[in-house]
Amino acid sequence: MVSKEEDNFLRIVYLHYRVATGALSNFFDKLHPSLSADLNIPGNKAILHDLYIPPPKKKRVLYRRQWDTLYPPPGSTTVTSADLDLTLIVCLLRNIPPLVTEPPTGFDNLPPPHDKSDGANIARLKYYKNFFVSHSKDGTLPNADFVRIWSELEQAVTGLDNSHATAASLKDAKTKMLDNSMVQMLSTQMQLVTKVSNFEEELKHISSHIDKDVQEKKQLKQITETLDEKMKTKEDSFEKEFKECKENVISYPNDWILVKYKYLQFTRIKTIAIESKKEKEDFVKDVQSLCSLIQDDITKHEERIAALENSSGTLQEIQRDVDSLKRKLDTLKEEIKKQVEDHIPPHIRAHHRQEIREWEQDQTTFLETRATRHIIESLPSHNCIVVTGSSGCGKSSNIHQAALHLRDSLEYEIIPVLTGPTDIMNYYNENKKQVFIVDDICGKETINMQTLQTWRDYSEKMEKIFKVAEKDVAGKNDKTVLKVSSPKLLLSCRLHIYKEAQFQRISLFTKKECNLLSPELCLLEAERMHMLHKYVPDDIIDNIKQVTENVDYFPLLCKLSKDKTSEEVKKLFTAPLISIKQNINNIIHENKQQFCALVLCILFNDGFDTDWLKLGSVSERKNMKTDKLEYIVKEFDIDLSKQKHRHSLRAGFSTLNGTYLKLRGTEYRMIHDKIYTMAAVICGQKLYRMFY
């Protein structure tokens, strides 16, 4: 059991490694989005090389391990900020453009609290990392110091990175329960960091000695060279004196006193020269011996540095392994936490994901219209929005895209409502941001009174869940931008059902309606053309501009026009209902497998699973569905026990996919309820006994 003081210390360590370093990396990435390219700019590389192998009288800043991190061997992975520790990130921010302005107190000192510049925030992180995290004596921290240091680090972190993720990490770090495994990991981390820090200090100490030895060696070399020059000058002078003496002896043979004087002078000079030469040789030997000793000392130091750097590299690898394990553990804990907190059964969650994937696929052809923008702009001040209109006008597409907007922009969880209000009651989580999606609430052609009553029974509870706070109403009146966080309910509803008196009694559903057929939100001509461009090539559009019928279900027609010929598209937009009926009739008369696929999707209106066509599936699983399937295919002379027949039927489904059918997983269903209605009427006329 750790004490409060130990918990304080470990929490600061956790904050440093799990939050502060990440925040600094995010800040760094904004300045160096292409780090590898920045490092290889010749000017930048020259600056860093001088820090690695400094010029005379300059302090060494980078060591081999750090240099190898920045410039790995050719063929290695691209260097990113994830490869750098805090010390190396700070070094780059201080030395390569764009430079971070140094605070008045410098990067190596703790800046005053009032200095909130980027440089000061970086200096705070560096200071507490070097003089607290890496050099703690007893691993404890009194409460008063903890509050002060936490406040300063929090200021530095948010100053460098004010993202939602970092804010959440800060909050989590302050309240996170440090269990035994976490304490053990942080302790191991501290030991590794301390060892690396000690190694780096020793490297600096050794480096300073080497620099001193090298400097002494250079000075000795200069002395030797100076002495050589002086000796050369003396020898030249001696030679000159000797020559003069010799000439004097020859010129004045009778002047024996002068000759003797000159001889003595010459002898003295020669003796001095010999002695000086010997002294020089002895001195040179001493210098050479000293240089040899210095070189040996340098070699030993270099070998020691190499050993230390290798050890440091090993520790760095161990530290990375520990970090990786910590991340995996955190991920696992997060997954376990999600599973514990998630009230949605796995099979339901899988169904939700499948639906949402379909919405994501529709994004490629979805056009944001003024109606879409109005719905999204209404989200801050309305927690329940009902999008109304006729079949095929884009109601469902708009609420789907609004839900994706909430997910992508504001981290909402999307929950498609499959069974009714009980889904909301069962899956609502007040600690999450959630948006519930209901398509065609209370029916399609006519109002489903039983479904309506179910929603009415839960209306009071839903009012509490989706209640709009007073501050949201005030924000709406002030036209301010609000931070959306409350639960949302997005509904699509047929306009005639929405207008039913019974439906209007549910007050929650009447607070915000977006009628896609209203003059304010209906499709503009320009929007219609842009939408058509999403599905049809330009050359076809040019031929049909004058015949595009102004129908409410224009978005559906666009979807049906995909991959059709110019003539087919022209017919579709000139007389859409006639064209669709004609296409369905062509299928009925020309391809019995496609006709059978249509009928199966009509009669199995909750989806036809093609796995039912597998050999043995029908015979081994006798139930109402398989009996119904056998009865239907028999009408088309299709024998599911024959492989060729099964493959032909599968091909029929596949051909209609994207035109009249849509595939979800292994299940096919009608692409739209309007098509479903038309196909059901036409097919029912051909197979009256089967449909009635």
Summarised one tens digit per residue, pLDDT across range 307-321 is: 655 655 555 666 666
pLDDT, tens only, 512-548: 999 998 989 988 888 888 888 888 787 777 766 654 5
Task: Indicate the angle between helix axes 21-31 and 164-175, nearest 10 degrees.
Answer: 170
Greater pLDDT, 138 or 63 = 63
User: What's the pTM?
Assistant: 0.47
- Phi and psi at residue 667, to the nearest 5°: -105, 135
pLDDT at residue 279, as a whole number = 59
- pLDDT in the model for residue 480: 38
Q: Which is more confidently placed, 371 or 287?
A: 371
pLDDT of residue 504: 92
The whole-angstrom separation of Cα 459 and Cα 505 is: 10
Evaluate whether 50 touches 58 at the Cβ level (below 8 Å).
Answer: yes
Give the pLDDT band of residue 118 (cuts 50, 70, 90): very high
Provide the phi-psi class of 510: left if phi over 0, else alpha when psi is between -120 and 50, else beta. Answer: alpha
Pull the structure tokens for residue 666.
């292994």
Residue 449 DSSP SS3: helix
Q: Measuring CA to CA, which residue among 607, 603, 612, 591 is closest to residue 655?
A: 591
Q: At what angle do helices 566-574 and 576-590 cross, to 10 degrees?
A: 130
| pLDDT at residue 218, as a whole number | 66
- pLDDT one-digit tens code per residue, 199-243: 555 555 556 655 666 666 666 667 666 666 766 666 666 566 656
Cβ atoms of residues 654 and 597 within 8 Å: no
What is the model's pLDDT at position 491?
Answer: 94
On the CB side of 104, CA atoms within 13 Å amount to 5
Angstrom distance (rounded) from CA 153 to CA 23: 11
When pLDDT is cut at 50, 70 and 90, the band that residue 370 belongs to is very high
Residue 284 pLDDT exceeds 80: no
**pLDDT value of residue 663:** 82
Q: What are the φ and ψ backbone dihedral angles of 657, each rounded to 5 degrees?
A: -65, 125
pLDDT at 482: 44
For the cut 70, the answer to whether the pLDDT of residue 549 exceeds it is: no
Q: Which pLDDT band, with edges at 50, 70 and 90, does 26 fall under? A: very high
In this prediction, residue 608 carries a pLDDT of 86
pLDDT digits (tens, 9 = 90+) for 665-687: 788 888 877 788 888 888 888 88
Identity of residue 297: D
Gyration radius of the chain over CA positions: 42
Quick one: what percent of the chain has pLDDT higher than 70? 69
Whether 493 contacts 440, CB under 8 Å: yes
Cis peptide before 98 (omega within 30 of 0): yes
Give the amino acid at 404.
L
Q: What are 389-411's pLDDT values in tens digits?
A: 988 888 999 999 999 999 998 98
> Tens digit of pLDDT for each residue in 456-480?
999 999 999 988 654 444 444 444 3
Orientation angle between helical segments 21-31 and 86-95, nearest 10 degrees: 30
The CA distances from residue 199 to 65, 138, 246, 300, 317, in Å, are 12, 20, 70, 16, 15
Is it the case that residue 508 has pLDDT exceeding 80? yes
Say how far apart CA 20 and CA 133 lie, in whole Å.
12
Please give the Cα distance from 391 to 553 (Å, whole number). Answer: 6
DSSP annotation of 132 reads I
pLDDT, position 57: 72
Q: What is the pLDDT of residues 244-256, one digit of tens each?
A: 655 654 554 555 4
**Secondary structure (DSSP) of 91-115:** HHHHHSSSPPPPPTT-TTSPPPTT-
pLDDT-based confidence at residue 296 (cuts at 50, 70, 90): low
Contact 630, 618 (CB under 8 A): yes
Where are the extended beta strands (E) located within 401-470? 413-416, 434-438
**Lowest-confidence region among 276-290, 440-454, 621-635:** 276-290
